[in-house]
Structure 1
Amino acid sequence: MAGNRLKTDNSTKSRKTGAERLKKDKVADVKMKDLVKDERTHKVTGVLCLLLTLYLFIAFTSYLFTWQDDQDKVFRLSSDVLFREDIQMENLLGRLGAFVAHLFFYDGIGITAYFCCWFFFILGVNCIVGRRVFRIWRNFRYMLFGIVLLSTAFAFVFQGWQFPWGGALGNMISQWLSGFLGTLGTTLLLAATGLAFLIWQFNFDFKLPRRSPRPVVPPVPEDTYAPADGPQEVKPQPLGLGNLLKDDDTATVINPLHAPETEPAGEMTLIEKDVPPPAAETPAAEKETGESSRVDLPLGKETTPLPARRPAKENGEVTLEINPAHEEEKSSGRPPNKAVKEQGLYEPTLDLQDYRFPTLDLLENHGGDKIIHDNNELENNKNQIIETLRNYDISIQKISATVGPTVTLYEIVPAAGVRISRIRNLEDDIALSLAALGIRIIAPIPGKGTIGIEVPNVKKSIVSMQALLASEKFQNSKMSLPIAVGKKIDNENFIVDLATMPHLLMAGATGQGKSVGINALLVSLLYKRHPSQLKLVLVDPKKVELSIYRLIEKHFLAKLPGEEEAIITDTKKVVHTLNALCIEMDNRYDLLKEAGARNIREYNEKFIHRRLNPQKGHQYLPFIVLVVDEFADLIMTAGKEVEMPIARLAQLARAVGIHLIIATQRPSVNIITGTIKANFPARMAFKVSSKVDSRTILDIGGAEQLIGKGDMLISYNGELVRLQCAFVDTPEVEKIVEYIGAQQGYPEAFLLPEYVDEKELENREFGSGEKDPLFEEAARVIVQTQQGSTSLLQRRMKLGYNRAGRLMDQLESAGIVGPNLGSKARDVLFKTETELEEYLQQLF
């Protein structure tokens, strides 16, 4: 029985313990750290701070009028006044308001108590908004300084008054200073302290006018420069059998032309290129080497290799002399102008000085940065290629493989006497033997003495946008408009400057990655450019692809005046927008002509150094990028009305910072005409349906053999490169635009010049009673500048040429400007604005 009882007790205890443990697991642990970081806690704190601000402000303001009635009651009862219901206070907030106001004013800091209201106000606003609208620490320092200085000054000036202007703090410091420095010394100290604060805060200029300095004569550059270092010797390892891999930072892979005799046939050797450390300054011609892989595949004993060429040696080693580069004089010898001395260089980013660039944690790492090597797959493909070529009596000397994210490049060196055309014609046979889709033969590879065979990988890797943007090449880029496109076969990041392309033509069938490619280009620009440096004109006939960017309208987007939506979807508005861009281009060329600059870079450089007068219409010019998501739909609906402004922009807009990215699903000859192709040297092709489409977009076949899902060919600088496009998902783009859209932007989107269709104005003339709404403003602009120029009205008022011309005609008929003088500006008949205003009042 005892044993049974023991067993029963143990089982009951076990069940009870399990129940207690289960109940304990259900209780959620609330951590104080998470509660403090919670967004709702911040908002509640902000609301309480704002209520406290309002409460103190009402109590303090009421105290200014009721302090005489309430002061004796507070003196007599002290804090007991809070609990005496028979006491009636005159303060609007009752006994508590009177006591708190008395505490701040009489026992505290006097009239400077209002600083506390301001401090609680900025705390509340920052907590509710969720970002730093006001700088708390800086305002807190100003508040403390103001309380000490002003309370002392009020107590010193109004000493003997019944109202506590300086409070107890001000009276104490004022009495001590008066006894220590005297009345005159205290006055001088307070005045000097206040003046010093104002000078420190506003930096007043007390300089007397002085003579202009003599021009600085630039130093005469020397004809020759002595090199700082002598010739350097580079001693590479001697050529030998097997694969050599250098251990230094400038490692280079040297592939021998034959395998060692002791190495068994079929064995695979993997050689990885070292990644050079990031340098402070990388030359433009130097390419960033990613994590690429190159595999030398031995052929066996049946192939007779050619003897390797050996360079001339001195004392058994090759000596390479590297002459130091000539460094040019950086100083132009031009002294800084007066405006730069007084105001410093113009900084366009100060318009939105609190703007923060998107962070990399908004993007996801979809795939690993390392490329996975499948040795069995490489070996099988190597054997199939060798066997197929041997069946057609083609022998090769060497074969090596470079593994990329989605494609592996097999490079072969044919034996002597083998014609390249024989290998090129075997493209279908090699594809059949490998049972792979998307085989592409490059015969020969430009810049190499090899023939390339591109074979898709069985296991493909995703190229993450986060990896490209985090790379050293993108982060330290000095490009004007850097775009991260994707990765090459050797895993090298392909990052180029859109400003040097200067326009990009994209094509690809539906679902092959074209829209993702557009998002990748736009995200690259958003991560690298400030809103003051870049504006986007987005044309989306499909109405759904680019609508996600509407949140950054007041930061990066440009639109026509009077339009509600910045993203253009209506074909008629597209025509107006393109013509408005042409007007903007012409206006910019006028500005460059007046500034004596050849391109936008030189113009902005002069404006930053304050060598251009903003009162004459000069301004900092941001880059403008036009993105058209579906060009074929525009051509079908508008035709020549779209093609002509596109061709004109492509021909001329590069120098003034306007660049085009045009995408289409149908790269046929009636969509991409010869006029358009001639002005788009950079082309990007995803998988297309036929070889004809590939030739239309790239002038060469190959795009029809791509495997899709971001696999692409890009023609840039006369070179055709196969890439795997970077992948950025729609939720990632949403996070980025929400992050930017939540920040403070401009009051409105960037406005393009107004365009009025000439067809709408045919057979229409303005009578004497029909005045343009901008007539008076145009008259004031003309009189202020004393220049009767139509182009001036276009630039200053952002008008189209037609409307500016009509305004000038109306000004002439009204007697404000003289007649047309040909290429010269019209005469302005009014010299002052006062005369103009009197005339306008009489005229209308």
Structure 2
Amino acid sequence: MAATKTKKPTENTTKKAQSAPKAGKTVDPAIRKRNIRLAIGFICLLLGSFFTLSIISYCFTWQEDQNNLISSQGVFNFLFHDKSPVENWCGRLGAAAAHLLVFKGVGIASLLFTVWLGAWGVNLINGSKIIQTGKWIRWMALGFLFLCPFLSFTFASGSFPLGGALGNGLVNWSNGFIGKAGSIFMLVTVFCFFAFIVFQWDIKPLLHRAKSLIPAKRVDVEDVPFSTDEKKNNEEAEEKFKGYKNYQPEPEAKEDKQEMTIAGNSNNKLKEPEFEINGLQAEEDYEPEDLEMTMIEKPMEESNKTLEINKGGIHLELPQEALFLTDELEEDISLKEEMPETEENEEGLDFEIKTVEEPAKVPANGAHITVQSGEPYDPSLDLPNYKFPTLDLLDEMEQSAISFDREELEKNKNQIISTLRSFGIEIQRITATVGPTVTLYEIVPAEGVRISKIRNLEDDIALNLAALGIRIIAPIPGKGTIGIEVPNTNKQIVSMRSLLASDKFVNNKMSLPIALGKKIDNDNYIVDLATMPHLLMAGATGQGKSVGINAILVSLLYKKHPSQLKFVMVDPKKVELSIYRLIEKHYLAMLPNEEEPIITDTKKVVNTVNALCIEMDNRYELLKDGGARNIKEYNDKFIKRRLNPNNGHKYLPFIVLVIDEFADLIMTAGKEVEMPIARLAQLARAVGIHIIIATQRPSVNVITGIIKANFPARMAFKVSAKVDSRTILDAGGADQLIGRGDMLVSHGSELLRIQCAFVDTPEVERIVEFIGNQQGYSSAFELPEYEGAEDDRVEKESVDLSKRDKMFEECARMVVNSQSGSTSMLQRKFNLGYNRAGRIMDQLEAAGIVGGASGSKPRDVLITTEYELERHLEELF
């Protein structure tokens, strides 16, 4: 009752409140304010348009109207007493207004004021700032203080008053006070003030454009700006370079996992196992000779084709896309998306889920993370105009759906069942997965059947199927099935273009993504080389080993910028990797003073791998000084400018060492090559140095235990003997491959069968020419100098101080000031190579500035002050 009584007065008061405005005769203040605003807006728009039109007309009729104004002796007489005709489009008032604004005012820059007045009126009429008139004040100031005197100074002999009275007065004063040269300097100063102080224009793009006209150089220690001002910043640096952006990724069609179920009459005494292609199955018994199979085509609009089973036969339809086992997942996701944040439970209580943000974490030692001021460093600005290769450079192959022969599948299925049954082995279900080159038959044995019995029937099944390359996987890891891989009669070529255009490759966030090929289920196999971290390849001649190397290199060229990746290529055969010579100034790394970027001589290979060891040690020193555990953390700190380039820090690109025909190097160099490569394989992963080794003879004396222990990722093409397969993979199977790109990849705990992507030599040539024709660095990426046996003999000879290094005096002053002398310090402070820094240190020793070497300790400095050093150098030289 109480609620009812309080409701009626509320309704009455509401009615009175609604009827009050109707009875009142006073105007609402808001409406009055709006009307005033509209009136002022229309007036401003009218005046701005009128004055703008009058100034435009004044540019053509100013001489006649100005003569009438001068003869009328004043603007007032001209407006109201003069009867002479006027040429201005806006009449006598327009001629007078234009004369005051242009001739007596600021010249042609008065258009800035009239247009601004009209724009202000538009904003008042609209009631919001649709035109940013506030910024126009700066433009008017630029026009009045710079444009007027500039026009008057430039067109001083002209008759039309472009600069107006303001411009003429400023120019006459400056010419008399500081001269014409001083007037020019004053105009430049005023322009720079407005450009950089008022408008805050960015000159950086102009500098980059000018820099692009000069051959680019690699960023050295002094090239990176460094500031000592530090401030807290915990944001992650955005990845400036994400790969190539010249095309949109094509949708990755998954046409794998095609399903077929075969059933028949129930008259047969033995119940035949269910046969399917990835999941869809029939529950009827059948006899193989009574089956009838037909293909039905449906329009391509259907996104998911189904399988129909009738009594008279089987209707087999290929799915357009593989969308298996995802319906329940999508339904679950949709339910979670539709669930509101606030729900009402059975008792009528509101249930609300709130998320609490975690407080900012502070380092355990209490130190604050400091970030250098300035924008994040972008290594790709060394080559700002570099363009990634486009997909047009690769051949476009016809990619059709994975096709299989119905009769072939049925025949192979029956042969497998009959062979196993002849040995007393019954199976419950058999499933077929059709890939580009191989079909995988997965069988589920009946209870009580031992797996070893099926594994021992490999040769019998191969005999009955009359196929080459039968491989039995018993059991398949992660599944309760046994796999039998049977080569297809009609094999398909895996296009490299389709892999690079796939969304899985374009949008990945891997450090070094490589697209190898497709698995049996037709899924693209893309893996990160940085996680492998080294790759060992083996295979007989002509089985696709060189094509596999090209696929890896092309994948990296399509994804990484030249500033982020360098290759060291070793090719004893001199013909396989020579095609990459054109990208020497973009992607290749080599020893100083070398002529050929592709290393073919065995002695140079020894020096190169030892130089990589020196580079590895130098990088570990940088990581230690920078407080980073790996190259990713170090580069992130350098990009955020948290590392001082003056201390020797610099951006570190990835280095990939590619060695083709490793067996030849082992035969000619032996331990001289094996030991530094083993050392790189053990330690170089954290500093971004990765190794790819290929050989056609995977014997134990070539791939030794030291090499195998540090190469967890293996890739095996077809080999000639089972012992070679066990050498490379520690398992059999590589001897049963069918060749032509068919390979086994061991990565982690998986052993996958992959059909390698095909990259032809003309395609690689087009890609390399596309990159080589662009602007590159001035030279290839230089590796540290390596001191061989000859260099040791030279060092033992006497040092000739008359041929001292150009950096001798600077190094001497630095050593004396720091009272510490070491070769590594000279390398770090002056960015010198190891060999050159060692020679300078020997010259300092011969000059009596530092003492002799004492192991790993720094040398003693024999001179204490810089003044004493200057006197010593004058007496010495």
Selected match of 2:821 from 788, 798, 806: 788
Q: Shift of residue 509 of structure 1?
A: 0.6
- Can you list the C-alpha shifts for 1:56-91, whole angstroms capped at 9, x where unaligned? xxxxxxxxxxxxxxxxxxxxxxxxxxxxxxxxxxxx
Q: Any stretches of 5+ residues in structure 1 without a counterpart?
A: 1-145, 158-164, 205-209, 219-240, 244-251, 273-289, 301-316
Residues of 2 paired with 1:291 and 1:833: CA distance?
83
- Asked whether the equivalents of residues 638 and 651 of structure 2 are also in contact (C-alpha less than 8 Å), the reply is yes
Displacement of 1:815 in angstroms is 3.3
* 1:758 paired residue among 776, 789, 800: 789
Residue 396 of structure 2 is aligned to residue 372 of structure 1: no
Structure 2 CA distance, aligned partners of 1:444 and 1:625?
36
CA shift at 1:585, angstroms?
0.4
1:810-829 superposed matches below 5 A: 810-817=843-850, 825-826=858-859
Separation of aligned partners in 1, 2:160 and 2:850: 68
| Other-structure match for 2:348 | none
| Distance change (3 Å), C-alpha of 1:294 and 1:437 | farther
Q: How far apart are the structure 1 equivalents of 2:455 and 2:732? A: 13
Task: State the shift of 1:789 in Å.
Answer: 2.7
The equivalences for 1:572-721 within 5 A come to 572-721=603-752
State the 1:605 CA deviation.
Answer: 1.1
Q: CA deviation at 1:212?
A: 8.3
Any residues of structure 2 matched to 1:223-622 within 5 Å, and which? 255=279, 259-260=283-284, 266=291, 340-341=372-373, 343-368=374-399, 370-622=401-653
Alpha-carbon offset, residue 524 of structure 1: 0.4
The CA distance in 2 between the partners of 1:748 and 1:572, in whole Å, is 22
Q: Report matched runs for 1:68-79 at 5 Å.
A: none
Deviation of 1:840 (Å):
4.9
In 2, Cα distance between equivalents of 1:170 and 1:691? 98
The answer as to whether partners of 1:367 and 1:463 remain within 8 angstroms in 2 is no
Change (3 A) 1:715 1:537: same
1:817 shift after superposition: 3.6
Letter in structure 2 aligned against 1:255: G
* C-alpha separation in 1, matches of 2:588 and 2:660: 15
Alignment match, 2:193: 195
Residue 173 of structure 1 aligns with which residue?
A: 162
Q: Deviations over 1:431-488 (max 9, x none)?
A: 1111110110000000000000000011111111111111111101111000001110
- Relative distance call for 1:660 and 1:260 in structure 2 (3 A) is same
Q: 1:136 is matched with which residue?
A: none
Distance 1:677 1:321 in 2: 50
Corresponding residue SS for 2:515:
strand
Q: Which amino acid aligns with 1:521?
A: I
Aligned equivalents of 1:436 and 1:380: distance in 2?
A: 12
Superposed CA offset, 1:21-50 (max 9, x none): xxxxxxxxxxxxxxxxxxxxxxxxxxxxxx
User: What do residues 800-832 of structure 1 show as CA deviations (whole Å, max 9, x unaligned)?
Assistant: 756644542432332334565765544666799
- Whether the 8 Å CA contact 1:686–1:703 is kept in 2: the answer is yes
How many aligned positions are there?
620
C-alpha distance in 2, partners of 1:217/1:366?
Answer: 47
Deviation by residue 1:239-279 (Cα, 9 ceiling, x = unmatched): xx989xxxxxxxx998378624699975779999xxxxxxx
Partner amino acid for 1:178? G
Matched residue SS, 2:615? helix
8 A Cα contact 2:648 2:831, kept in partner: no
Deviation of the 1:346 alpha carbon: 1.0
Q: Contact 1:150–1:166 at 8 Å: present in 2 too?
A: no
1:711-768: CA deviations, max 9, x gaps?
0001001210000001111111111111111111111000000012135524862314
- Please provide the CA RMSD for this pair: 4.5
Q: Are the counterparts in 2 of residues 294 and 402 from structure 1 also a CA contact under 8 Å? A: no
Change (3 A) 1:764 1:621: closer
Note the C-alpha offset of 1:196.
1.8
**Contact 2:396/2:495 (8 A) holds in 1:** yes
Percent identical = 63
1:179, distance to aligned residue in structure 2 (A): 6.1
Q: 1:772 to 1:268 in 2, by over 3 A?
A: farther
C-alpha change, 1:748 and 1:168, in structure 2 (3 Å) is farther
2:139 maps to none
Q: Residue 568 of structure 2 aligns to which amino acid in structure 1?
A: V
Whole-Å Cα distance in 2 between the matches of residues 827 and 770 of structure 1? 20
Equivalent-residue separation in structure 2 for 1:358 and 1:591 (angstroms):
33
Q: Within 2, Cα distance between the matches of 1:778 and 1:597?
A: 34
Amino acid at match of 1:259: E
Residue 412 to residue 292, structure 1, CA distance change in 2 (3 Å): farther
Q: Which amino acid aligns with 1:577?
A: T
TM-score (structure 2 length as normaliser): 0.63
Relative to structure 1, the CA distance from residue 201 to residue 375 in structure 2 (aligned partners, 3 Å threshold; closer, same or farther) is: same
SS in 2 for 1:683: strand
**Which position in structure 2 is the counterpart of 1:808?**
841
2:847 maps to a residue whose letter is: A
SS in 2 for 1:494: strand
Alignment check: 8 A CA contact 2:572 2:601 kept: yes
Kept in 2: contact 1:155–1:170 (CA 8 A): no
- 1:570-621 deviations in Å (ceiling 9; x for gaps): 1110110000000000111111111111111111111111111111111100
Q: Alpha carbons of 1:669 and 1:337: their partners in 2 closer, same or farther (altered >3 Å)?
A: closer
Deviation, structure 1 residue 664 = 0.4
- 1:655-693: per-residue Cα shift (whole Å, max 9, x none)? 100000000011011111111011000000000110011
Question: How many Å separate the matches in 2 of 1:586 and 1:508?
Answer: 33
Contact 1:626 1:660 (C-alpha < 8 Å) held by counterparts: yes
User: What is aligned with 2:267?
Assistant: none
Return the structure number with greater relative CO, CA threshold 8 A, min gap 6: 2
Which of 741, 754, 777 aligns to 1:746? It is 777
Amino acid at match of 1:483: I
For residues 166-194 of structure 1, give each alpha carbon's deviation from its aligned partner in whole angstroms, at most 9, with x where no partner exists.
58789853357536989679989985444
In structure 1, C-alpha distance between the alignment counterparts of 2:144 and 2:575, rounded to whole Å: 59
* In structure 2, distance between residues paired with 1:294 and 1:571: 61
Give the deviation of 1:374 after TM superposition: 1.8
Check conservation: 1:580, 1:800, Cα contact below 8 A: no
Write the distance in 2 (CA, Å) between the matches of 1:622 and 1:637: 31
- Would the alpha carbon gap of residues 683 and 254 (structure 1) be closer, same or farther in structure 2, given more than 3 Å must change? closer
